[in-house]
Amino acid sequence: MPKKKKKRMSLENLKDLEAEPEKIPKVNKIPQKPTESKSIIQEKSPSNELVNEELEKLFEQLNKWKIARRVNSDMQMQYRDTVRECKEIREDLKKEIADIRTVANTAKNQRDKINEKVNELKKQRSEANEKIKEYKNKRDEKWTEVKQIREQFRNMINQKKDLREKLFKAKQLSQIIESLDWELQTVSMDWEKECELMDQIEDMFHQFEQIKEVKKFKDISNILDNYSSQLDKLRTEANQYHQLMLDFVEESNFIHNQILESVNESDQYHSEMITNFEKTSKLQIQEEEAHQNMMNAVQELNLLKKGEQEIEKELQIVRKKLGKLREKEEALKSKETKKILDEKAQKILKKYKAGQKLTINEFRILMRTDKLKE
């Protein structure tokens, strides 16, 4: 609200007030004596002139202070209106601030609740991520074992390939031994030939025994079968851990999306809260201005009331002076009237003593002045 600049009323600036064309009471002048036929003619004296001048000055002062009192009263009314208007504005702003603050606090509570939910979701996401990390490590461990066994498996296969070449020779010896043994059993021959053939079979069998890879080939086959079983088991376990990891990845992503949605909602409430608190800050400035304007008006009003008291004091002083001056005026009137009557009575008395006829007014003057007793 714009401040209205109003002139402060006090005794110091009353001298600047100019009296409005208000009718100043006429000073009661000492009545004039009528003519001999009607009244006694009053003659002006210097003392009467001074009294009249002083009375006129006092009535001007009285009128000026009455104008000052009226102006003071009008200004008090204006400042009372200003105080009332500022107070109404302040109270309206207080109510508006309270309402907006309620909305802001509601938004703040909603934001805080969502933030608590977000913190709980983050905790759940962290737990899910820990599970992801755990199952990923276990899966990787299994795949590492698979790689190791697969490497060993490849080495065994290569060894088996090498052994196959050596086993081919062992197989040939075995066939020759079987053929010679069959010839020894089925063909009739002399003793020397039979001994020669038996020596030959024994020599070949000895060669066959010397090929140890035959037993090793069997061992490698067993090892490869074992490796194959282990690989199947490890792959199954690795896939299980991988699926568990994927399940927790899905759960973590779901929780993460919930967090993003909640954070977005929280940001909206936070923005609403900030906007409303900024509104309350601006309104508080306006409220403080309205309050300050009201207090300024109250201060001016108090000064005007003080000025009103000073005006009343000055009016009492002027009225008191007027009262005393009126008493002085009345005394002067009485004195002048008596003097004039006495002078007139002396003339009438001489006329009476000379035997001249008197008028009724002249006779009354003699009676009022007790000149007939002389």
Task: Tell me the CA distances in angstroms from 208 to 151, 160, 171, one per residue in order.
Answer: 32, 18, 9
- In contact, 143 and 238? CB cutoff 8 Å: yes
Alpha-carbon gap, residue 111 to 263, rounded angstroms: 9
156: left (phi over 0), alpha (psi -120 to 50) or beta: alpha
| The model scores a pTM over 0.75 | no
- In contact, 329 and 51? CB cutoff 8 Å: yes
Task: Tell me the CA distances in angstroms from 34 to 38, 186, 341, 361, one per residue in order.
Answer: 5, 206, 11, 10
Question: Please, what is the Cα angle at 250 between 247 and 254, to 5 degrees?
Answer: 140
- In contact, 307 and 9? CB cutoff 8 Å: yes
Specify the pLDDT at position 9: 42
222, part of any domain: yes
The model's pLDDT over 141-187, given as tens digits with 9 standing for 90+, comes to 988 888 888 888 788 777 767 666 666 666 777 777 778 777 777 77
Provide the domain count of the chain: 1
Specify the pLDDT at position 284: 94
Specify the pLDDT at position 193: 76
126, part of any domain: yes
Task: Flag residues of the chain having pLDDT under 50.
Answer: 1-44
Specify the pLDDT at position 47: 59
Specify the pLDDT at position 36: 38
Specify the pLDDT at position 373: 60
On the CB side of 137, CA atoms within 13 Å amount to 5
Beta carbons within 10 angstroms of residue 353's beta carbon: 9
Alpha-carbon dihedral 260, 264, 267, 268, rounded to 10 degrees:
-160
Which amino acid, residue 200? Q
36, part of any domain: no
Which 8-state DSSP code applies to residue 223? H
- In contact, 85 and 13? CB cutoff 8 Å: no
- The token pair at 115 is 């933030």
245, part of any domain: yes
Specify the pLDDT at position 136: 92
216, part of any domain: yes
6, part of any domain: no
253, part of any domain: yes
CATH of the domain at 222: 1.10.287
Sign of CA dihedral 203, 208, 209, 210: positive
Beta carbons within 10 angstroms of residue 213's beta carbon: 19
Specify the pLDDT at position 212: 56
Range of the domain at 306: 45-356+358-373
58, part of any domain: yes
